[in-house]
Amino acid sequence: MQSYRFIQTLLIGILTFILPAIACQLSSGMEIAQEEQTATSIATTEKRAIAVAQPTTVVMPIANATPTVQPESNITSRTMPTTRPISSVAPRTVPTTQPTSSATPRPTSTPKPTASPTSTPTPRPSPTRTATTQVGCSSLATPVAQPSGIVTSVTLAQGVDSNGAPMYPTTTFSRNSTVHAVVALQSQGVPAQTRIKAVWFATDVGNAAPCNTQISSPIEMSTADLIQPYIDFTQGPITPIGAYRVEIYVNGVLDRFVSFGVR
């Protein structure tokens, strides 16, 4: 009995030392197995990641090779939409060529209206020009003058000096100006009772007066009243624009006439 108890106690002692060691070995084995499993899982995930990255560059242009890569069918379906917008962009470039052809025929119709208005206005102004040429007085008969020899000259001027001589001679006067018709007589041999007369006419002043209208009463002077060899006949101020003339008579006979204008 003692030997049996000794063996029992010995076995118990051995078990107390051996069981913890076995438990430690088992636990370490489990940890190693777990580490191996994690390593294998990490390796498989890396392989899968590499496999996922590779079909994006290789499988896109080879769309028909899908049966050879059966486990990666989901990857190929994801890469398919990347090729679809390429075909959708292509038809958008087609209408860009269409407006170029449609824009070219439009300028062909623009020159048509330009030719039509050019022909219409040309004949219209012709009748107006012919009407303007008919406005005004007809040509008057030239008065027949009979020089007496007593009058040496008739000068139209804007004024006279202290001796009665003409100043600023001209045949064109402005509106509302006074016209001086200075008659120069011979210095000797003039009869004392010679009568000198001036008559003023509006030859053509448009609608202001009829053609060849006498504009004032005749002015007559005698050589017996003369102190100087000049006689100054004045008319004005003359307002209407047009053509005028003054006629000088000696003893009732037309000696000469001078035409002038008012502008």
pLDDT of residue 92: 52
Instruction: Identify whether the C-beta of residue 147 lies closer than 8 Å to the C-beta of residue 197.
Output: no
pLDDT of residue 122: 47
Task: Give the pair of three-digit tokens for residue 114.
Answer: 């330009």
57-95: pLDDT as tens digits: 444 544 444 444 444 444 344 444 444 444 444 445 444
Higher pLDDT, 26 or 78: 26
For 153, residues 6+ apart whose C-beta sits below 8 A from its C-beta are 183, 184
The total number of residues written for the chain in this structure = 263
For 249, residues 6+ apart whose C-beta sits below 8 A from its C-beta are 196, 197, 198, 199, 218, 255
**Residue 232's closest CA among 169, 183, 193?**
183
d(Cα 58, Cα 133) in Å, to the nearest integer?
97
CATH code of 151-262, in short, is 2.60.40.1930
Map tokens 């498989």 to a residue: 44
Please, where are the H alpha helices in the chain?
2-58, 73-89, 94-103, 106-109, 111-119, 125-133
CA distances from 256 to 99, 185, 199 (A): 85, 13, 11
pLDDT (average), residues 173-200: 93
202-211: pLDDT as tens digits: 999 999 999 9
Strand, coil or helix: what is 247? strand
Strand, coil or helix: what is 93? helix
d(Cα 34, Cα 28) in Å, to the nearest integer?
10
pLDDT of residue 166: 96
Res. 154: pLDDT tops 50 = yes
Instruction: Identify whether the C-beta of residue 152 lies closer than 8 Å to the C-beta of residue 185.
Output: yes
112-151: pLDDT as tens digits: 545 444 444 444 443 332 222 335 787 777 788 999 999 9
209-249: pLDDT as tens digits: 999 999 999 999 998 888 888 999 999 999 999 999 999 99
Higher pLDDT, 210 or 40: 210
Instruction: Identify whether the C-beta of residue 257 lies closer than 8 Å to the C-beta of residue 143.
Output: yes
Phi, psi (deg, nearest 5) at residue 252? 85, 0
Instruction: Identify whether the C-beta of residue 190 lies closer than 8 Å to the C-beta of residue 214.
Output: no
Higher pLDDT, 20 or 251: 251
Largest CA distance in the chain: 213
pLDDT of residue 20: 74
pLDDT of residue 8: 78
Where does the pLDDT of residue 23 fall: very low under 50, low under 70, confident under 90, or very high at 90 and above? confident
pLDDT of residue 96: 47
pLDDT of residue 120: 47
DSSP state of 137: P
pTM beyond 0.75: no
pLDDT of residue 36: 74
Strand, coil or helix: what is 200? strand
pLDDT (average), residues 258-262: 97
CA distances from 227 to 174, 183, 185 (A): 31, 14, 12
Where does the pLDDT of residue 53 fall: very low under 50, low under 70, confident under 90, or very high at 90 and above? low
Where does the pLDDT of residue 261 fall: very low under 50, low under 70, confident under 90, or very high at 90 and above? very high
For the chain, domain boundaries: 2-85, 151-262
Higher pLDDT, 94 or 177: 177
Report DSSP letters for 178-191, one per residue. EEEEEEEE-SSS--
pLDDT of residue 159: 96
DSSP state of 228: S
pLDDT of residue 1: 61
